[in-house]
C-alpha cells in the first residue's frame, strides 16, 4: 500500500501534525509519509521531544519507521498488527508526557490493545496541556466517546529538569460513540492546584483570585491545593467542568511570575462557555473522524491545531467536516469513516 503523503508544514507546522498523522496511521493501518517537517521553524526537522511517542507507538503496532532521528525533515510510518505491552520509558528531559499520551491513548485503545506504561519526563510544562488536564478533561471527553484510560501522577515534573512520573493504563475501546458538545449548562466547577518550593501564601492568593472571578459569574467552586515533590519549583492550576453537553478545562503553569495566574486561568474558563475549550477541540478530531455518524462540537475560537488535525484526519480517514460561524463562536461537524481497524 502506497503511503499517504502529508505536508508537515501545513497549519501550525509543528509537532501536532506528526502526532496526528502517526496516530491515525496506527488506527487505520494506512502508511503515512510526512514531508517538510517543521519546515518554517528556526530549527527545522524532528526534535527529541517529538520522537518518543512515535517510538513507543511503533513498538506497539510493530511499525516500520524511516527517518526517525533528530533534524529529520521526513518520516515514514508503516504500521502492522498491534500487541499488548507493558513499558517503562524516559523522555530524558522535561519533554511533555501529556503530548506523548495524546499519541498513545487513542491509538492503543482504537486498535483494541491494552497498554500499561510508566513515563518519566515533564508533567506540567510550557506549550502543553498539564497532566491534570489530561486526566480530568481529556479523560472525561474520551470516556464519553468510548475511549477509557487511567492516569496516576506519581511525581510532578516541572521545567527545566522534568523528572516527573506518570503511570497510565489504556484499555481497548468497545464502541465509539458520536458526541454533541454544544453549550455549558452547569454552574459547578472544580479547581486543582499543585506546587513545589513556592510560597503557600502567594498560591492561596492566586486561588482566591480565581475563586472570586468564578463566583462573580455564579459558579460554585470546589478546590484543593496540594504540595507535591518535584525536582524543580513549579505550580499548575486547572479549572474544569462537565455536563451532558460540554467538557471544558482551563489550565495554567508557573513560568516567571505567579502574580495573575489565578485570574488568567479563571478568565479563560469563564470565556469557554460553549461545548468544549479550544485545547480540547483539536484532541477530539482523531476519534471523531472514525465514527460514521455526525458529531458536533462548539468552540469559542478555531485554533491552528484544530485546523491542522482536521486537515490530517480528512487526508487519512476521508472524513467530512464543516465549520460554521455562530454569534459567539464556531460549530464544527465531523462525519467520520468506518473503514479502519477502530470499528
**Which are the catalytic amino acids?**
305
Q: Give the phi and the psi of residue 102 in degrees, each rounded to 5.
A: -60, -30
Q: Give the phi and the psi of residue 318 in degrees, each rounded to 5.
A: 65, 25
**Sheet containing strand 149-155, strands side by side:** 85-90, 115-121, 164-170, 149-155
In angstroms, the CA 209 to CA 275 distance is 25
In angstroms, the CA 335 to CA 343 distance is 15
In angstroms, the CA 106 to CA 82 distance is 13
Q: Are 341 and 29 a contacting pair, CB within 8 Å?
A: yes
Q: Are 296 and 329 a contacting pair, CB within 8 Å?
A: no
Q: Are 252 and 237 a contacting pair, CB within 8 Å?
A: yes
Q: Are 331 and 296 a contacting pair, CB within 8 Å?
A: yes
In the block, cell 478530531 appears at 285
Q: Are 5 and 35 a contacting pair, CB within 8 Å?
A: yes
**Sheet containing strand 180-181, strands side by side:** 180-181, 294-299, 330-335, 320-325
Amino acid at each position: 500500500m502506497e503511503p499517504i503523503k502529508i505536508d508537515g508544514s501545513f497549519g501550525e507546522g509543528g509537532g501536532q501534525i506528526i502526532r496526528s498523522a502517526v496516530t491515525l496511521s496506527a488506527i487505520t493501518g494506512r502508511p503515512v509519509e510526512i514531508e517538510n517537517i517543521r519546515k518554517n521553524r528556526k530549527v527545522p526537522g524532528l526534535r527529541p521531544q517529538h520522537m518518543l511517542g512515535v517510538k513507543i507507538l511503533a513498538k506497539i503496532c510493530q511499525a516500520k519507521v524511516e527517518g526517525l532521528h533528530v533534524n529529520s525533515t521526513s518520516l515514514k510510518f508503516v504500521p502492522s498488527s498491534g500487541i499488548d505491552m507493558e513499558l517503562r520509558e524516559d523522555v530524558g528531559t522535561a519533554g511533555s508526557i501529556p503530548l506523548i499520551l495524546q499519541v498513545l491513548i487513542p491509538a492503543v485503545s482504537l486498535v483494541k490493545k491494552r497498554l500499561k506504561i510508566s513515563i518519566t519526563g515533564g508533567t506540567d510544562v510550557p506549550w502543553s496541556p498539564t497532566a491534570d488536564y489530561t486526566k480530568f478533561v481529556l479523560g472525561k471527553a474520551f470516556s464519553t466517546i468510548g475511549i477509557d484510560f487511567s492516569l496516576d501522577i506519581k511525581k510532578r515534573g516541572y521545567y527545566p529538569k522534568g523528572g516527573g512520573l506518570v503511570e497510565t493504563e489504556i484499555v481497548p475501546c468497545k464502541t465509539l460513540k458520536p458526541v454533541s458538545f454544544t453549550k455549558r449548562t452547569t454552574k459547578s466547577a472544580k479547581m486543582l492546584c499543585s506546587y513545589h518550593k513556592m510560597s503557600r501564601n502567594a498560591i492561596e492568593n492566586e486561588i482566591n483570585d480565581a475563586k472570586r472571578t468564578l463566583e462573580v459569574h455564579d459558579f460554585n467552586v470546589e478546590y484543593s491545593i496540594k504540595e507535591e515533590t518535584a525536582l524543580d519549583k513549579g505550580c499548575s492550576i486547572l479549572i474544569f467542568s462537565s455536563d451532558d453537553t460540554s467538557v471544558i478545562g482551563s489550565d495554567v503553569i508557573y513560568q516567571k511570575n505567579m502574580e495573575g495566574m489565578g485570574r488568567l486561568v479563571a478568565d479563560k474558563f469563564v470565556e469557554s462557555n460553549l461545548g468544549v475549550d479550544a485545547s480540547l477541540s483539536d484532541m477530539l478530531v482523531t476519534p471523531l473522524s472514525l465514527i460514521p455518524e455526525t458529531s458536533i462540537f462548539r468552540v469559542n475560537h478555531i485554533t491552528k491545531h484544530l485546523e491542522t488535525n482536521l486537515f490530517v484526519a480528512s487526508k487519512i480517514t476521508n472524513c467530512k467536516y464543516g465549520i460554521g460561524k455562530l454569534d459567539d463562536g464556531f460549530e464544527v461537524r465531523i462525519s467520520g469513516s468506518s473503514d479502519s481497524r477502530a470499528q
